[in-house]
Amino acid sequence: MRINSINASNAYSSRSLNRNQNSRKNSVKHNSQSSAGNITFGALPRRYDKVLLMILDGFGLKEGGRKNPFSEAYMPFFKSLTSNSSGDTLFRPIEASGTYVGLPPKLAGSSEVGHNNLGAGRMIPQDLMIIDEAIKDRSFRGVKPFIDAMQHVQDNKSTLHLMTLLSDGYVHSSTAHLFELIKMAGARGIEKLKVHAFLDGRDVKEGTAIDYINKTNAILKEYGYDQVASFIGMKYPMDRARDWSKTGVAYDLLVNGKAEHEAKTFEEIYRKLHTFTKESGKYLEKDMPPVKLEGFEPIKNGDSVIFTNYRNDRTRQLTDAITQEECTAPFLEGQKRLEDINFVCMTEYDPSYHLPVAFPVKVHSNTLTQTLNDQKFYPWVAAETEKQAHVTFFFDGKKHIRFSDTSYFFPASDHEKLTPKMEAGILKDTVLNWIKRAKSKGMIVNFANPDMIGHEANYEKARDMLELLDTRVLRQIITKAREEDIATIITADHGNIEDLTHGGHTNNPVPFISVLPGMESAIADGSLFLDNAADAAINRVAPSFLDALKGAKTPSVMYDSLFKMKEV
């Protein structure tokens, strides 16, 4: 697989960031000529009645390398696309990480960040950057919900609880935010503070939890607080698949003080429970059972809680159970609910909760699905439930909305049997069904397989998944789309599957592949090509989609299409 056909350097300067942020203002306009007089953006020789966007979640690009399943996977169809063997295909790598997508430099992308940029069609500053900036400019300690939560425990002579995914994977949380809260509590004279750690091992290397715990304990000791009070693997408190039995395990630890293990120190119990590979009687960090450490206190009436996770999809179930009287989780039946709790959400987890929010969500309109809906193209949106929020909430500019003229299809993910196939077969059939439908003109579908299998870091399973994706998904869908004269764009939200050394996301580029039936002559003579700018990123996918769709108008807030036409 060749990905070095153009310069796809990860180098990024403030100059290129400004150019990317202002591409609609400072570069060529959509469907207009460049100053050179012979190049136009968004000027396909023809446009299509129907356009399909396929998002291969976690499908990054990398030549070789240790534990890269692409090295052995038999993927003739994918290679035929990247090599343009059929003559109707344009391909180039595009960026999906760091400042390209509103994150700190060189930081790996994630599903919510990737889909946020994919749907918006422009670079969206992410919550991590916004919160980090608040720490830098010292406005963090002036956030009213934080002040109110700390005042609440002082008035009640109660305890401040900080719940957090304790890692620097930056997908859900940051230790910098936790440490700043500890420092703020110390400065305000908070007497009792308890940190409840959720262990990662998914977006960071397995075995790093002990380092994060030691750093946290050092900060706690510096400000006169007890060590981390409890820990549990993230799969329990951060379940998002409505598996209330998992949420119940975390709730019992945090509210009822129930744990499978108790220990004086973290290191003492961690070394007994932890394993780097699946081993009988031991656990990966994300699967760790609930453990209480010396100094533990449960959340009780009159306390305050700050949940430091800023990503909202994996915070809802636990927040719902602790704070919402209407929560119908089975484990809550017959339990007396907490009273007089001041519970602060780092960002808005759900507007229906009516809870204090430290950093209110910044919504964005004129996204791809909204544009297709409002312009009456009757789009279809599909993904298995594992990625449902990504093709709706995140893709739609962080808005909780279902558009009136949009159809949605979300087959349930099976988390207990994570096979290479997952629900790809059902989604493939849905796409094939859409191809036959006349009314809907645009479809957005996410295949979660590369990301979910990539997180397992199982080389053989990843190789099998890539081969399945090639023969049973890409080949069948693209073949049918070509027959029906439908344009297809294939891309990804971030890297993962191409580097299984740690099972986490990567900052490698991702593919932009456009299959354009009938464009063979324009591609062959070089008059139709893709912009070769080194800073081209996934936020240029949406305008490219709209460029290809007959009758579609691209919102002015979006960046330029990647399609370029040379006058010959």
Can 5 be counted among the known catalytic residues? no
CA distance 63 to 526: 26
CA gap 558, 531 in Å, rounded: 16
**Cα distance between residue 145 and residue 359, in whole Å:** 9
DSSP category for residue 238: T
**Chain centroid to CA 387: how far?**
9
State the catalytic residue, choosing from 23, 110, 111, 561. Answer: 111
b/e per residue, 115-141, with b = 16+ CB within 10 A?
A: bbbbbbbbbbebbbeebbebbeeeebe
For the chain, helix (H) and strand (E) counts, in that order, are 19, 18
Beta strands in 377-473 (DSSP E): 380-382, 407-409, 442-447
User: Measured between alpha carbons, how far is 432 from 403 in angstroms, rounded to an integer?
Assistant: 22
CA–CA distance, 419 with 421 (Å, rounded to integer): 5
48: nearest Cα among 413, 442, 409: 442
142 Cβ contact list (under 8 Å, min separation 6): none
Instruction: Report how far residue 309's alpha carbon sits from residue 291's, in angstroms, rounded to the nearest whole number.
Output: 20
**Residue 257 burial (C-beta neighbours within 10 Å; 0-12, 13-18, 19+):** middle
Cβ atoms 481, 488 nearer than 8 A: yes
Give the pair of three-digit tokens for residue 539. 């936020």
Question: Which residues are catalytic, by number?
Answer: 111
